[in-house]
Amino acid sequence: MIIGVPKEIKTREYRVGLVPAGVKAFTGAGHKVFIERGAGEGAGIADEEYVKAGGKLLKKADDIWQRAEMIIKVKEPIEPEYARIQNGQIIYTYFHLAAVPELAKVLVEKKVAAVAYETIQPDDGSLPLLKPMSEVAGKMSIQVGASSLEKAHGGKGILLGGVPGVKPARVAIIGGGVVGTCAAKVAVGMGAQVTILDISVNQLTYLDDIFQGKVTTLYSDTYNIANAVREADLVVGGVLIPGAKAPKLVSKELIGEMTKGSVVVDVAVDQGGCIETCKPTTHDNPTYEVSGVIHYCVANMPGAVPRTSTFALTNTTRPYGRKIADLGIVEAVKQDKALARGLNTYGGHVTYEAVARDLGYDYVNILDAVSGKAPKAGAAKVTRLRAAK
């Protein structure tokens, strides 16, 4: 198979879809790998390293997209890349389609096999390709939150961990999964007063155990969320429903009840966000203010630490990418149920149920789609496509 690795063009996105070791793994198995010049520079990877690993450099992104059977990226294609997408192409990357209906429309029209990192899911319910970036974003959420609390950045001017004789900041973390756990590790380490909310009592028990009483655990309901948010200096939103839009757990009215200069960091913003007042921002302009509360809502937070993020991500994406290249997308999803759950669109159909539901498409079972049992592309009715407002 011909693999293409273009340079990421999202604002301040410095990660890259393959590292030299990955290139060597693909080329060693008989595949061809084309890398756009400079694609790895942001992550500290020189072009020469790719060449030594067996890759071939191309100067233009257009050439990468036109020649590749499978594109390996980090972030979803953005508008300037839509025209580069080839009909029937395999694209292997993060998509978060529930939050980008305009991209879903392009993928359906071009009959793209869209394999989403965030929905590849083994039977145990884990999300192995989302986990490393959730770990990075969770830890970063406290770093950027602590910085945003500084007066110079619009915050109320408090130190997260306080000092002897002065109380520490209060941090409320909504969601006790990978993001929430990693956020709590950093927040506790900095000396903050931490509360974690989750709907799983088993997870709360686990968190209480590993933090040995250093965090307060609360069942996540509207009453507890409201109290925790009102009292918090820093709120971290880390709630995920695989493939679907994040639920809105913090209302605009509740944000208005927080003290001025408080901070919210919504790690779920690339899935629509779990805080009503959040909207995607970039590393160039990461924050804005609503009702006196500072909002940090960068949709690609791990892009700020691209060296760490790239190697952590590609450690997990490479094996599934190899399976697609070795077997072809049809046979790969037939043999691997985890990989099959990652296929969000195929042959003009939406093949992930949560995405179809959130965007108003008819859902087509993955195995029906790849086996040719689904209605012909174009025959499946698109019931509703929610415009991005």
35 in Cβ contact with 98 (< 8 Å) = no
The residue from 198, 233, 266, 270 that is catalytic is 270
Neighbours of 41 (CB within 10 A): 14
Beta-sheet strands, E only, within 222-360: 234-237, 263-266, 287-290, 293-296, 343-346, 349-350
Torsion sign, CA atoms 296, 297, 303, 308: positive
Q: Is 295 noted as a catalytic residue in this protein?
A: no
Residues in the chain: 389
CA 278 to the chain's CA centroid? 16
Residues ≥6 apart with Cβ < 8 Å to 125: none
For residues 3 and 28, the answer to whether their CB atoms sit within 8 Å is no
The H or E element containing residue 335 is helix 329-335
What is the separation of C-alpha 281 from the centre of its chain, rounded to a whole number of angstroms?
A: 14
Element at 2 (helix H, strand E):
strand 2-5
Catalytic residue among 31, 96, 295, 349: 96
- 50 in Cβ contact with 57 (< 8 Å): yes
3-state secondary structure of 121: coil
Q: Find the Cα–Cα–Cα–Cα dihedral 198, 160, 230, 268, rounded to 10°.
A: -50
Q: For the chain, percent helix, then strand, then coil, each to nearest 5?
A: 40, 20, 40
Q: Report the C-alpha gap between 41 and 31 in whole angstroms.
A: 23
Q: Report the distance separating Cα 289 and Cα 372, nearest Å.
A: 50
Contacts of 143 (CB under 8 A, 6+ apart): 186
**How buried is residue 312: exposed, middle or buried, by Cβ count under 10 Å (0-12/13-18/19+)?**
middle
Secondary element (H or E) of residue 3: strand 2-5
- How far is 237 from 253, CA to CA, in rounded Å? 16
Q: Is 349 a catalytic residue?
A: no
| Catalytic residue annotation | 96, 270
